[in-house]
Amino acid sequence: MEACKELYSLPREEMAEYIAAGPKDPIRIGTGLFYSDVDDAVCRRDYVKMIAHPEFYCPAKPTNLREITMEYSIRTRELLLELMQAIFKSLELDGGRISEALNLESCFQILVGNNYPPYAGSDWVMGISAHSDHGLLTLLFQNGVDGLEVKRNGQWLLAKPLPGSLFIITGDQLEIVSNGRYKAVVHRALVLGEQTRMSFVSMIGPCLDAIVEPVPELARSAPQGMEFRGIKYRDYMEHQQSSRINKKAALDIVRVQHNILTSQGAPNNSTEAASAGYSHTN
Ligand SMILES: O=C(O)CCC(=O)C(=O)O
Ligand SMILES: [Fe+2]
C-alpha cells in the first residue's frame, strides 16, 4: 500500500501512458471524480490495475512496486486457488476436473490498488458504485479505514476491516460455474471519513480462453436446470468492462430466461427449452 501511495504521488507525466490506457491494456491507472447515476452519487477513486497472471505486468516506478506485487500475486493466487478447491469440494465436485475445464493453471489474475482520499464536497461521495467482480474469487485487503459495504438480503452491511483481516468476495464466474449455488456478492466502497482509505485487491478468474458454463451435474440437479449459458471468459470480461458499472447487470448477458412458453402455450422449465431462451442485453 505504501508503494501504491508513492505511485499515486508520482508526477502526472510519469503516469500518462497508463492513464491513457484502455480496458484491454495490462496496466491502467484511473484517477478522479465522476458521477454514477446507478447510485446517484459522486465517485472519487484513484486506482491502478495490473494483470499479474498468466503474464506479470507492473509500472516501472516506484522501483520497489514490482518485487512487492510479484510476491503478493504469487501468494494470493495460491491461496485463492486453494479456496477454489475447497469450494469445489463443498459442491461435491471433482476439483481436478473443473480446474482443468477452466484451465486454472493459466488463470487470469489482476491486482488492483484503490485509493479513496477524503472528499470535502457537499454531495454524497462514493468510492466505487455497487457492482460484482467479474472473476471467480477476489481477495481484498483494506487499510483499516471503513468503507467497504456488501449487500445481503437487500441491506447494505459494513465489512469492517478488522486488523490483518482479508475479505473474500465471490465473483460472477463462480456464480456461473456453480449454476447459482454461490452468488456473486454485490459490493461498493463509500468515502466516509476524514482519512484516506486504501484497499488492495487480488482477483482470479478462469483462463481467458476458457468457456465458462455451469457444471453439468449442478445444472441437472437444479430445479430450473441451467441458470446460465456458456461464455468465453474473455468475452464476458469485455462485455462487463464496456458496460457501465451496474450491480450484477453484466450477468444478464448469460442468464437463461425460464418460464418460456412452449408451442403448446405451457411454461416449460426443461434445460433444453430454457437454454433456447438466452437473454442477451446487448
Ligand atoms: O475498495 C474496496 O473496498 C472495494 C474495491 C472493489 O470492489 C474493486 O476494486 O473491485
Ligand atoms: Fe469489486
Prediction ipTM score: 0.99
Decide: residue 37, CB within 10 A, 0-12 exposed, 13-18 middle, 19+ buried.
Answer: exposed
Q: What is the pTM of this model?
A: 0.89
**What integer pLDDT is reported at residue 243 of this predicted model?**
78
Using the mean position of ligand 1's atoms as its centre, give its distance from the Cα of residue 189 in Å: 6
Q: Cβ(109) to ligand 1 under 6 A?
A: no
Which is the closest atom of ligand 1 to the Cα of 198? 1
101-132 burial, b at 16+ Cβ within 10 Å, e below that, comes to: bbbbeebbbbbbbbbbbebeeeeebbbbbbbb
Q: Which residue matches cell numbers 476436473?
A: 97
**What integer pLDDT is reported at residue 261 of this predicted model?**
56
Rg of the chain over Cα atoms, rounded to whole angstroms, equals: 20
Q: Are 189 and 112 in contact (CB under 8 A)?
A: no
**What integer pLDDT is reported at residue 276 of this predicted model?**
29
**What integer pLDDT is reported at residue 247 of this predicted model?**
85
Using the mean position of ligand 1's atoms as its centre, give its distance from the Cα of residue 159 in Å: 12
**What integer pLDDT is reported at residue 131 of this predicted model?**
93
Q: Are 197 and 142 in contact (CB under 8 A)?
A: yes
Which ligand sits closest to the CA of 185? 2
Q: Cβ(133) to ligand 1 under 6 A?
A: yes
Q: What is the mean pLDDT of each run of 10 residues along the chain (282 residues)?
A: 83 86 90 77 89 96 93 98 98 97 98 91 81 97 94 95 92 98 96 91 98 97 96 95 83 87 46 30 26
Which is the closest atom of ligand 1 to the Cα of 197? 1
